[in-house]
Amino acid sequence: MPISEADRARDLEVFCAVIDGGSFSAAARSLDLTPSAISRTLDRIEARLGARLLLRTTRALTLTAEGHSYLGAARRILADLDEAEQAIADQGSPRGRVRVSAAISHGQVCIVPLLGDFVRRYPNIVVDINLSDGLVDVAAGQADVAVRGGPLPDSGLTARRLSANGRTIVASPDYLARWGVPETPEDLYNHNCLNFGFRRAEPVWPFRRDGVDYALKVRGAVEANSSDTLVQLALDGVGIARVGDFSLRDSIAQGRLVPLLQVYNPGDREVFHAVFVGGANMPARIRVFVDYLVEQMGEGRRAAGGDAAVGPSASS
């Protein structure tokens, strides 16, 4: 007999309860079922899928790779069901949890200051923000919205353009007093150039001379995975850094960092997008959050042609 939609939703609830509780007995207590009923449900799910979701021992339950994928989908589906029911009960007011991932420095400077107004507008939405320079897999359910800068990988996700940010080469007055001021890009070969160390980082610094763009591969004693770290190293006089302008405004205004080689600045811009699972069934809580970011972050428009698909690799 084909499984009903209600039974399938109950299976998802049971599976999540097992993971949240850490055992069949804990899930049984939370759902007012017997442990044997929980076990039969898990067996039925695995038989239907033709895949093992949990490795079971007397001491622990361990998710398989398929189990991780199923758990992410199960949580999204149950959250969407809850939101649909609550939206009707609350006459359409969006509610629920929005899990947001953003890079540390950009998130602290550009995203976190916007959250106060958002939660005042939407008091039934909880924003769960995680600031990290590592990648998250949005399609697998690790976040609902990821805000990231730079080129987007191909994926089946949807992206909306938020803002574009320039970049500047800087050093502290103390460093320049000790090592001299570079007058041309090639002078950087004689300086300690602090660069990003993560795999998406550009291996070179771009310049423009007499209308012609070119790039130099710079070298330094320290690499870091966040612009905050590079800015702090530059402030400490360790070397010269090239980072986003949003990280530099206060330090430059206070004279703690000095812009360098501006006549050679190519004017390149790092574009920031909100990346999420789009489509007609996108939960209202995610839609209003993305709309709010687009409204607040300067450009207030969609990327050319509106929402852009960014194809099957779901990391951002």
Q: What is the pLDDT of residues 34-81, one digit of tens each?
A: 999 999 999 999 999 999 999 988 778 899 999 999 999 998 888 888
Instruction: Give yes or no: residues 25 and 123 share one domain.
Output: no
Instruction: Give yes or no: residues 60 and 124 share one domain.
Output: no
pLDDT tens, residue by residue, 228-257: 899 999 999 999 999 989 889 889 999 999
Instruction: Give yes or no: residues 118 and 242 share one domain.
Output: yes
Distance from CA of residue 204 to its chain's centroid? 24
pLDDT value at position 122?
Answer: 93
For residue 141, what pLDDT band results from cuts at 50, 70 and 90?
A: confident
Instruction: Give yes or no: residues 228 and 102 share one domain.
Output: yes
β-strands 269-276, 308-309 pairing: unpaired
Tokens describing residue 50 = 């033709």
Res. 82: pLDDT tops 80: no
* Number of structural domains in the chain: 2
For residue 6, what pLDDT band results from cuts at 50, 70 and 90?
A: low
Residue 83 is assigned to a structural domain of this protein:
no
Instruction: Give yes or no: residues 111 and 53 share one domain.
Output: no
Amino acid in position 120: R
Instruction: Give yes or no: residues 275 and 180 share one domain.
Output: yes
Range of the domain at 264: 94-316
pLDDT value at position 305?
Answer: 37
For residue 301, what pLDDT band results from cuts at 50, 70 and 90?
A: very low
In whole angstroms, what is the distance from residue 80 CA to residue 86 CA?
A: 10
Instruction: Give yes or no: residues 174 and 240 share one domain.
Output: yes
Q: Which of 77, 103, 132 finishes a domain?
A: 77
- Torsion angle defined by CA atoms of residues 43, 46, 51 and 53, in that order, rounded to the nearest 10 degrees: -80
**Which parts of 184-308 fold into alpha helices (H)?**
227-235, 249-253, 284-296
**CATH at residue 208:** 3.40.190.290
pLDDT value at position 181?
Answer: 97
Residue 308 is assigned to a structural domain of this protein:
yes
List, in sequence order, every residue forming a beta bridge with 205; answer none if it has no partner: 216
Of 283, 14, 303, residue with least CA distance to 162: 303
Residue 88 is assigned to a structural domain of this protein:
no
Q: Which of 45, 77, 109 finishes a domain?
A: 77
**Which parts of the chain fold into alpha helices (H)?**
5-21, 24-31, 35-49, 65-89, 104-106, 115-121, 173-179, 227-235, 249-253, 284-296
In whole angstroms, what is the distance from residue 283 CA to residue 197 CA?
A: 36
Res. 149: pLDDT tops 80: yes
pLDDT value at position 50?
Answer: 92
Are 49 and 11 in contact by the 8 Å Cβ rule? The answer is no
% pLDDT > 90, the chain: 56
Residue 164 is assigned to a structural domain of this protein:
yes
Of 149, 144, 148, 141, residue with least CA distance to 127: 144
pLDDT value at position 8?
Answer: 83
Tokens describing residue 213 = 């763009």
Instruction: Give yes or no: residues 158 and 197 share one domain.
Output: yes
β-strands 240-244, 269-276 pairing: unpaired
pLDDT value at position 87?
Answer: 59
Q: Which of 26, 51, 77 finishes a domain?
A: 77
Res. 269: pLDDT tops 90: no
Average of per-residue pLDDT values in the chain:
86
Instruction: Give yes or no: residues 207 and 58 share one domain.
Output: no
Res. 316: pLDDT tops 70: no
Between the CA of residue 315 and those of 97, 140, 288, what are the distances in Å?
A: 20, 9, 22
pLDDT value at position 81?
Answer: 82
For residue 300, what pLDDT band results from cuts at 50, 70 and 90?
A: very low
Instruction: Give yes or no: residues 190 and 239 share one domain.
Output: yes
Residue 86 is assigned to a structural domain of this protein:
no
For residue 226, what pLDDT band results from cuts at 50, 70 and 90?
A: confident
In whole angstroms, what is the distance from residue 166 CA to residue 271 CA?
A: 9
Instruction: Give yes or no: residues 186 and 243 share one domain.
Output: yes
Residues 204-232 have a mean pLDDT of: 91
